[in-house]
Each structure stands twice: as C-alpha cells, then as structure tokens.
Chain A
C-alpha cells in the first residue's frame, strides 16, 4: 500500500478549531479532531459540509469507560467528495456518569436533525433501540397506517416491516421499520483476537461478503502496518468486481421479471448461474469470500485458470449486453419504470446517498473506486475512468449507432435510470477485470504465496499500542463498505463499527415513495403516481440489504 502513495490525490485538511486537538494518526489521508463543546462541534461539521466539500459517512457512539480516561464518545466519519481524504471527529464528555450518555444522545439527535445521519443503534444507544424493536405482535394494531407488511414477506426475501399509508391503490407514504434482523454483529467482534475477525466480517451481508471481507482486511492491514503484495490486491479487486457482476445481473433479471417479462429474465438467471459455477471451479466456492485474509489471499489461481474465468466473464457479459440493449429500448420496460419513484439530486445529497443510488441521480463522483482507490484502481485509474463520469463511456446506448444523445435521458434518478446504471456497471466491471488480468497478471511468474499466518498477525498486533484505530474502505456493489476498528489490549479487538451502504439508502427509498415530498416533481412529464403494485419493482431497483442495515 505504501508503494502507490504517489498516485493518490490528497488535499489539505481543514484547520483545527479552537479548544480542540488534532490527533496525529500516522496514516495517510485520515485526520482526527477531538472536540469538546457542542456548539463548536456543530459549527465544525457545518463548515466541513458546506465549505470544504465533505459528506458524512457515518456516526456512532462508543462506551469507553474502561479506558484510563473514562468517557462516552461520539464519532463522526467524513469522506471528501473528490479527494482521497477522510476526517474523523471525536466528541466526548469526560466521566463515566450515566447522565453523560443522555447528553451525548441529545447532541446526536441534534446532529441527525440537521445533517444526514441515520445510524441510531450502537453500543450505548442500543438500549434506546431495544425498546423499539418491531416485534410482530398479533394483539397490537397500528390503525394510523392502512397496511402493514412484514416482517415476513411473500417470496424468498429478507425480513423487514413496511407501513404503508394508502389511498385506494395509491401509496401516500411508507415508513420503514428496520431492525428485525438485528444479530449484534458489531458486538460479536468485541474481545475477539484480530486474526479471527475475518470470519465475522464475511458473514455480515451475504450478497456483498467479499466487499465486507476486503474492507475488514484493509482496516487490519492499516492498523498493523502490513504491506500487501500486488498480486493479492489484484485478486481482491477481481473478486469485488465479480460480486458486482453477480448482483447486477440478478437485480436486472428480477426487475424484468416484475415487469412481466420472464423470458429475458430467465436467460439472465441462466448466465449468472453458469458464471457462478465457473467461479466455483476456479476459486472453490460460489461465494469466494473465504479466499480473502488479512495480509494477502489464501488461494491464488494459476494464470490459465484466471484466463478461463476472464473469458467466461466476457462471454457472459457480452450475452447480457445483448439482452440489456434489447430490453432497455422496449416500451414494456419504459412505460412501467420511467419516472417512477424519482430521487432528486438535492434530496440524495441531503440524505448522504452513496453507491449506485447516488450515481443514478447524477452524484457521479461518489464512487470509492475513484475517490479512495486501492491496488489496481490506483494504477489504472485513468484506464478505468477515462472521462469522469465513469459510466458515460460505457453507456449501452452508445453501442448503437445513429442514436442521438439527447434522446437518452439517463440518470434522472428514476427506476429506469437505476436499471440502466446496473447494465452499464456490468459492462464496466468486465472491462476492469480484463484490464487487470491482461496488464497485471499476464506474463508474471506464478506469485509466491505471501500469506501472513494468524500467529504473525498476533505478534504484530501486540506491538501496536492499545486504543489505536484504523479505517478500511472499499466500493462494494451497493456502495462504499467502511470498517472502523479500534484495538484493545494485546491482540484483542475493542470496538468495530460497520458501515454498510444500505444504512443511508433506506431513507432515500422512503423519501422517494413519499407523495408530499415529491409534489414539486409533478410538473415533470415523466412523473407517475406510485401504486401498491409498483412497490416490488421499486424495492428491487434499490435492492438494499436488510442484514447489513440491521447488523
């Protein structure tokens, strides 16, 4: 990681406000500020967002009363919109008094009213959350809402509660009660040896398990100062892109199925399944997250095998591209999805949208592969993203000659634009994989297996002083997956915060379904009323994780 420093783009960090400290972290691109007063905290966040071009990735509380200076702390993590900078602010009241946590919670609520922060249930805040657990109860009826759906849904999907307020068929408002699937994954990390954390990280969200495993590994490597070989980084990037292809083909297939178009959907399912079986042959599993390990990778396939996989991927994507092109121009899809549940750019910015949802409403720079690159993304940034926005080059429409650009209004934030951005990203991911395999892996001799054993990790972890922290971030297929890791005594984990992209995007989905808020959109010619039958299509076009959100 240290070798590619020169390619990364940093800007200067903001100045230190009065009565506060800047903590030297020793890592590139991350700066930590300790702030002690509420008004200063508020104005500092305000300046960061309004002037310096940062946006909030997440906020979380932490009970650190066991430490030498006992305190309850509130952390807020920011990322810059276009440079490779992170800012972590730390806010605390001294003392282990229980009333402090109430003060902290109040200031937290204050922030969440002003800024897009939606991460309420964390360590000490859990007790607020536990009373609000949406237990399915027969005897309690919520008459305010016309229709309560869930937590168990009709179909093979995850569990969550939606409260619909409807007028006949028309949806007026939707409230999303998440938290049914709370397992306590962040708590499961605590007091675990650092070497064993990977088995928890891979099981947080099954459909983006590779992204979670990579983000965790990067956090550990940054904390312990481990250098990772280029070969391992290349393989990790390939795994992340394969996961993106899997997910996007699946989602587009389900969208087509919901638009009463089973035939192309069946083909897409078949291509995806064939690809997964080839991945199983090469990597050993259909979901190959177990290959990833802090310090490297546990398995490195031969060049011949990887080439076989790359050929299979390019075949699959080529076949999918034909289906995307045919369906995208067909009216059956357009009449159903165009202008449905539109997310406006300003609203997305306010809620802190990220990943494909942000990119589908023209917040195109919110791509961690471009802003916070690692491994091959740093070396090939110009190849991968020749003209930013990244997807412009690979628009399906451009593949068809004689079509004027003006006819195609892409990323207006509707369901159709979420469909088309998925199609584009499948094609884009294929190009990234081919570039990595052709430029990096071809011609190299078989790499020596540079794996770091669990014992080595433990020895290295003991040398790092306690209560040091690090951040690992990667662009999963939904959006950025961020891990914040704080080390405790010896080689044990003290606290971990997982930040899955669905956390902020659920709120954007609720806002897109709200009729009052979309009132100004009615002048748009594409605008559609949303009826109950549209909800599955919209839900699938967002396709957010319940498990990653509830943790």
Chain B
C-alpha cells in the first residue's frame, strides 16, 4: 500500500518539478554549505522533483540565507522581481534570515534592520514565508520543510 502511494507521489513529482533559486543575503556561508550538501547525491532530491536552478526566471521558490546586508539589498529585490508570479514562496534558511539578524550578535553596522521579510513585504504583499531555523539547519531539516511545502501545494 505504501509502495503504491509512494509511486503515485513520485509520478506527481515528476509531472510537477519544483525549482528553487538560492539567494545569498550576506550569510557566513554555513547555510550555503548545507544547501550544497542537500543538492549533492546522498540526499537524492531529484527523485522528488526538487532542483536548484541557476536563474530566478525559472524558480518557483527562493532559498534565502543570511540576514539582509546593505550591499545585497538591490540584488535581493531584483531577484525577487525576476521570479514569475503569482504564488512566490520564500524559504528562510537559517536563524539569520528567520530573525533578520545574526544570532547572538547585535550592533552589526552592515545589517539592514528589518531583514529579508521586511524588505520583501514592502515590495510584494502576500508572499508565503517558510522559516527553517537552525545555525545552520541540517540538510534533513531543510528537505523536510521543502517536502511538506510540496504536500501543501498538492
């Protein structure tokens, strides 16, 4: 029975691939490493139809790492606006992007106060944010959140 539902799920996944674009907003590159690990063969995300795409034009979701820094503010807006609408999903990977600040570190002059959520909400209303806390979250955590998001979509 499980095998039957699994095969249905896989067929659905093949029919509806899910493309994610990574966006660095000033992370310490710990979360980027874990996203890289997720994209590597041991996790085999291709079987669930998940793929990291190089271009935001093809992306259904953004995976944001890092709090927002001044130097990448414009780039983040351009990337968001380059995504096709109307239902854009934003995965906030790591504590930095979830809270809009580096955990346990205050008074960073380069970090924008409101963070990614504040900036994106200003530009486009009704975005769906999916927080993935952890410093850094393990690939299993990230994968779990992405899969549950896919189930909600279905």
How many angstroms from the CA of A184 to the CA of B26 in the assembled complex?
11
Distance in angstroms between the alpha carbons of A546 and B32 in the assembled complex: 12
Asked if B99 is an interface residue, CB under 8 A from chain A, the answer is no
Contacts A154-B54, A180-B71, A266-B41 given: A205-B28 contact, CB under 8 Å?
A: yes
Q: Is B136 interfacial (CB-CB < 8 Å)?
A: yes
Looking at A158, A180, A183, the one whose CB has the most chain B CB atoms below 10 A away is: A183
> Across the A-B interface, how many residue pairs have beta carbons closer than 8 Å?
143
Cα(A303)–Cα(B117), bound, Å: 46
Q: Are A184 and B23 in contact (CB under 8 A)?
A: no
| A57–B67 CA distance with the chains assembled, in angstroms | 30
Q: Is the CB of B26 within 8 A of A209?
A: no
Q: Closest Cβ of chain A: how far from B78's Cβ, in Å?
A: 7
Contact with A along B20-62 (1 / 0, CB 8 A): 0011101111111111110111110000000010110000000
- Least CB distance from B61 to A in Å reads 14
Interface on chain B toward A: helix, strand, loop, or mixed SS? mixed
Question: CA of A270 to CA of B136 in the docked complex: distance in angstroms?
Answer: 19
Does A151 touch B at the CB level, under 8 Å? yes
B102 interface residue per 8 A CB criterion: yes
Task: Answer yes or no: A118 CB below 8 A from chain B CBs.
Answer: no
- B54-81 CB mask vs A (1 if < 8 Å, else 0) is 1100000000001101111111001100
User: Is A425's beta carbon under 8 Å from chain B?
Assistant: no
B84 at the binding interface (Cβ < 8 Å):
no
Interchain nearest-CB distance for A274 vs B (Å): 8
Number of interface residues of A (CB under 8 A): 50
Assembly CA distance A269 to B23 (angstroms) = 22
Q: What is the CB-to-nearest-CB distance from B67 to chain A, in angstroms, rounded to a whole number? A: 8
Q: Which residues of chain A in 182-214 are interfacial with respect to chain B, using CB atoms and an 8 Å cutoff?
A: 182-185, 187-188, 190-191, 196, 199-200, 203-207, 209
Please indicate which of the listed interface residues A204, A206, A207, A269 has the most CB atoms of chain B within 10 Å of its own CB.
Answer: A206
Q: Are A184 and B110 in contact (CB-based, < 8 A)?
A: yes
A5 contacts B by Cβ under 8 Å: no
The verdict on A203 contacting B75 (CB below 8 Å), with A152-B24, A156-B36, A209-B28 known, is no
A270 to B31 Cα, complex, angstroms: 18
User: A183–B111 contact, CB under 8 A?
Assistant: yes
The answer to the question of A135 belonging to the interface, with a C-beta cut-off of 8 Å to chain B, is yes
Contact with B along A497-535 (1 / 0, CB 8 A): 000000000000000000000000000000000000000
What are 18 A-B contacts defined by CB distance under 8 Å? Answer: A135-B74, A151-B72, A152-B23, A152-B72, A152-B75, A154-B55, A155-B54, A156-B36, A179-B71, A182-B71, A183-B67, A187-B109, A199-B103, A206-B32, A206-B136, A270-B40, A272-B37, A546-B29
Would you list the 9 A-B pairs with minimal beta carbon distance, nearest first? A206-B30, A154-B54, A184-B109, A269-B40, A199-B104, A180-B71, A206-B28, A184-B110, A266-B41
